[in-house]
Structure 1
């Protein structure tokens, strides 16, 4: 007979770890410099907060997603190709 205890313990440890990491997921902290939100220039998985299709930071699935944003220093977003201070339609 196969001992299933190690498998059960591993599954429990994985569920506990995933649950704990999900509890800390959320928006990125606001920076301590003058900032603006810049939409449409974020690499996949690097957004700073929720979007219409994702619930927390770091969850965008595509580069340059129109509703995903990051904090940038004030006045910077307009200088970035594809950057907008308003969500794109």
Structure 2
């Protein structure tokens, strides 16, 4: 294997590892609706298309990943609000 092939193989291994790690981390977390502070939501909602774009604290449609079993203790819900 020449240097170029080794570099390509290393790059592909890095990309594959990077995609597996977040999935493993998400296994011990759950979406918690209604607890995100303004600008600290983890993903899109019906009001916008990206993380970090929430406009108000504790909006019912905004969510954050939290450790499993802690959402309701924090005052949130594990299910999205009815539309």
| TM-score band, normalised by shorter chain | 0.5 to 0.7
Structure 1 pair 78–56 and aligned structure 2 pair: CA distance change class (3 A): same
Structure 1 pair 88–31 and aligned structure 2 pair: CA distance change class (3 A): farther
In structure 1, the partner of 2:77 is 84
Q: Which runs of 5+ in 2 are unaligned?
A: 1-21
**Is 2:47 aligned against 1:47?**
no
> How many pairs are equivalent?
60
CA distance in 1, matches of 2:23, 2:39: 18
CA distance in 1, matches of 2:23, 2:58: 21
Runs of 4+ in 1 over 2 A off after TM superposition: none
**Is 2:30 aligned against 1:36?**
yes
Q: CA RMSD in A?
A: 1.7
Q: Deviations over 1:23-76 (max 9, x none)?
A: xxxxxx667150000000110000000001110100000111111000000111
TM-score, normalised with respect to structure 2: 0.65
- Per-residue deviation, 1:77: 0.3
**Bigger proportion of residues as helix:** 2
